[in-house]
Structure 1
Amino acid sequence: MAIDRLLPTAEAADLLALTRDIADRELAPRAAGHEESATYPEGLFATLGQAGLLGLAYPEEFGGGGQPYEVYLQVLEELAARWAAVAVATSVHTLACHPLSTFGTQAQKERWLPAMLAGELIGGYSLSEPQAGSDAASLNCKAERTEAGYRITGTKAWITHGGRADFYALFARTAPGKEGVSCFLAPGTAEGLSFGKPERKMGLHAVPTTTAHWDGAVLDTDRLIGTEGQGLQIALSALDSGRLGIAACATGLAQAALDAAVEYAKQRTTFGRRIIDHQGLGFLLADMAAAVDSARATYLDAARRRDAGHPFSRQASVAKLVATDAAMKVTTDAVQVLGGYGYTQDFPVERYMREAKIMQIFEGTNQIQRLVISRGL
């Protein structure tokens, strides 16, 4: 159903209306087929880019939308309510643009950022490694300074859009210790870069997740973002915003599951009554609705703090934790509402349940979010 949103401007309301139209027309009819066949939605991200939806949170100076983060996240939620994989990939692209937009030089921004924000170049985020997921400081991929630039050697893992993206926000080690991680804007066609087979995932089948193997690929020195040793600071600053993106995606997914459950409960009858009119089921749906509304409130609170220039790291972790746990619970309950039909692939709620699980894991597991929150206390 269309959410009654409290938006800051009439422009934002128009943007949400445009997003819903695109999502209903371009995403909703294609999602189930692509997810079932695990086929990539060719041309779809170009469509989103042409509509201005891939650079909403970035400056208009470089072709971005100049929108508050609270508006961008609600756009993301609308996309996720139709197709979670596309929304997650959109969130990751936005995350991948963050290092250049926030830490790049003026010359670097002028050279690359307009095409990135227009969706002409789609991005991936390459931080994790096989042995270094949430512990970003322990990564081993090396970037050795040479006369030609930086020679990259090592393996990265869990890259959304791996092998499909045009650029990657790449984090590699230029020196030992926590202060030895640096950030690079790496082209997806670099010689010496190859990708593993897409992971066989529980959900989000339409957008690949892969490993990347750097076999001595050389990046020009102007591909370094910020300074040597600043990579961990860049990565963590980006992840705070990225966690809000996942919170919004999880909320959209939970909303879709709630909508499907309510629609079914209005039509299915038992003992001469619609099942939504049975108190036991009605209360279950009420709890699902409360969880979705709470998830939305937490990510909007964090986004408004970000937009106002206030610290929001703890609130971002709260939002990611609350929204993704809510999505897991709501999608599971949606399957229960539909009963046996919910367990079949003839209805979308079983896919929603599978898709919700990963949201408790990426952008920092929910155990990591609890660690961040507790340290903030």
Structure 2
Amino acid sequence: MFPTFPGSGADDAGAVIEQVRQLAGHLARPTVASRDRHREWDETLFKALTVPGTFGGGLTAVQTGALLTALGEGSQDPGLALAVATHAVLVTVPLRTFGTDAQRERYLPPIAAGEWLGGLSLLQTTGGPVTVTARAAGPDWVLSGTLDLVALGPKAHHFLVIAEHSTGSRTAFLIDADTPGLEVSDTAPVALRTCPWGRLVLDDCVVPAEAVLGSVGSAATEVEPLLATLDWIFVSAAWLGILRALATGSLAAARTRELNGAKLLDSQSARFTLADLNIQNELVAGLLTQVAAELDESTPTVYQDAASARLFAVGAVRAVTEAAAELAGPLSDDLVERAYRDARFFVSSGGGSEVLRPVIAASILEDRS
């Protein structure tokens, strides 16, 4: 599913990962508070972090996860990290996996160059209710409906859209933003403000047969499970970087903050909390690396294992952001406040526990049958 680093080894991959961490820290971190406050999208910054040499292609799943973690840690910007994950992974990997030769030849070069961005409604990554319908019109398809919570919506060149037929089956489409009948509007969610968000309205939008991604009527067994798996692994990987930045900041806060006339770091409870933060982070890192390796190897259980990793990551994000806020106290900085706010979005996304737990339970019951 993910090609390997061409002509590269682990040392080369490690160098690129460290380059991304430093580049994100140098370019993105100094402006993140201002960009978040003003809901500002910086296209130049985005391109600098996604052009070939970073997320331009040729990476394994493990390397891609490590890069997203480095981006999150260096930038301290959950919104930017989500935008990168949406474009470079959630939209592009299904294209690489299920796209025709013609689709790959048309889309992948400008995607790799950072010229064309791909958008996606995050409501489509969990196999939930489909809000777009598709009906045949000769060789073409007519799509109608709406999609909310579209990451990169107002900036995207194309969108991955899943539509339902009258039979109940589903088909995935790759639709350009300038397609007649497709309207894209800007929206302003309260979280992840550095990622552009939009709403799609498809009003008898006619798309050609060439826009179908994968097999007609097979999205439920092709694109949708892959989308869920990618979301659970790689959006979590970006958040792991935020958690590592929080752990580093919490240690610094404990060294400077005083409580009852003594340094907070001298408190045994504070030391235990700092240890717990790092333990949570390393457990998340281990689980995500393991499941990303399963994705590289096309392991049959990767879908279920990705759900388990995401559920653990959700608990870790909740625990670490709350602990970081408690340790920082009145000294809370922009990162702590933004992460605490945005964590609620992450916890509820990816389908939430109501989607993750049944996937995990089904896997356990299947093993025992």
Partner deviation per Cα, 1:8-28 (whole Å, 9 max, x = no partner)? 711111111211221112111
CA RMSD of aligned residues (A): 2.0
Q: Which residue of 1 aligns with 2:3?
A: none
| Equivalent AA in structure 2 for residue 314 of structure 1 | Q
Aligned residue number for residue 24 of structure 1: 25
CA–CA separation in structure 2 for the residues paired with 1:109 and 1:197: 28
Long gaps (5+) in structure 2 = 1-7, 365-369
- Counterpart of 1:310 in structure 2 is 299
Please give the secondary structure, in 1, of the residue aligned with 2:43.
coil
Q: Which runs of 5+ in 1 are unaligned?
A: 1-6, 56-63
Identity in percent: 25
Cα distance change of structure 1 residues 299 and 119 upon mapping to structure 2, 3 Å threshold: same
Bigger CA drift: 43-52 or 353-362?
Answer: 43-52
1:209 Cα deviation from its structure 2 partner:
2.4
Partner of 1:332: 322
Q: How does 1:173-212 map to 2 (within 5 A)?
A: 173-177=164-168, 180-201=169-190, 203-212=191-200
- Which residue matches 1:155? 146
Give 1:95's match in structure 2, choosing from 75, 80, 90: 90
Q: Give the Cα separation in 2 of the matches to 1:250 and 1:101.
A: 24
Contact 2:18–2:70 at 8 Å: present in 1 too? no
Is residue 301 of structure 1 aligned with residue 290 of structure 2?
yes
Does 1:263 pair with 2:257?
no
Separation of aligned partners in 1, 2:51 and 2:235:
23
SS at structure 1 position matched to 2:179: coil
What whole-Å deviation, never above 9, does each CA across 1:131-181 have from its counterpart, x for those lacking one? xx8453x4141222224722221111211111211111111123422xx21
**Contact 1:127/1:170 (<8 A) preserved:** no
SS of the aligned residue for 1:313 comes to helix
> Counterpart in 1 of 2:203?
215
Compute the displacement of 1:197 (Å).
4.0
Task: Report the alpha carbon displacement of residue 240 of structure 1 after superposing the two structures with TM.
Answer: 0.7
What CA deviation, in whole Å up to 9, does each residue of 1:303-359 have, x standing for no partner?
1122223121121111111112211210111110011222xxx54211111111111
- The amino acid of 1:216's aligned partner reads D
Corresponding residue number in structure 1 for 2:362: 375
1:196, CA displacement in angstroms? 3.8
Q: Output one character per residue of 1:277-327: Cα deviation in whole Å (capped at 9) or x when no partner.
A: 211111111111111111111101101122223121121111111112211
Alpha-carbon contact 2:127-2:220 (below 8 Å) kept: no
Whether contact under 8 Å (1:275, 1:281) holds in the other structure is yes
Alignment of 1:276 with 2:265, yes or no, is yes
The runs of at least 4 consecutive aligned structure 1 residues that moved more than 6 Å come to: none
Verify the 8 A CA contact 2:133 2:164 in the aligned structure 1.
yes
**Cα distance change on mapping 1:139 and 1:260 into 2, 3 Å:** same
Bigger drift between 30-39 and 209-218 goes to: 209-218
Q: Secondary structure at the match of 2:20?
A: helix
How does the TM-score come out when normalised to structure 1?
0.88
Q: Per-residue deviation at 1:109? A: 1.3
Q: Which residue of 2 aligns with 1:125?
A: 120
**Residue correspondences, number:** 352
CA distance in 2, matches of 1:156, 1:68: 31
- 2:45 matches 1:44: yes
CA–CA separation in structure 2 for the residues paired with 1:26 and 1:298: 29
- Give matches, 1:325-364, under 5 Å: 325-342=315-332, 346-364=333-351
Aligned residue type for 2:114 = G
- 1:9 maps to amino acid: A
Q: Which residue of 2 aligns with 1:60?
A: none
CA spacing shift, 1:357–1:198, aligned 2, 3 Å: same
Give 2:219's match in structure 1, choosing from 214, 231, 251: 231
- 8 Å CA contact 2:141, 2:208 repeated in 1: yes
> 1:54: how far off?
2.9
The whole-number CA distance in structure 2 between the counterparts of 1:99 and 1:292 is 29
Q: Which structure is richer in relative contact order (CA contacts within 8 A, separation 6 or more)?
A: 2
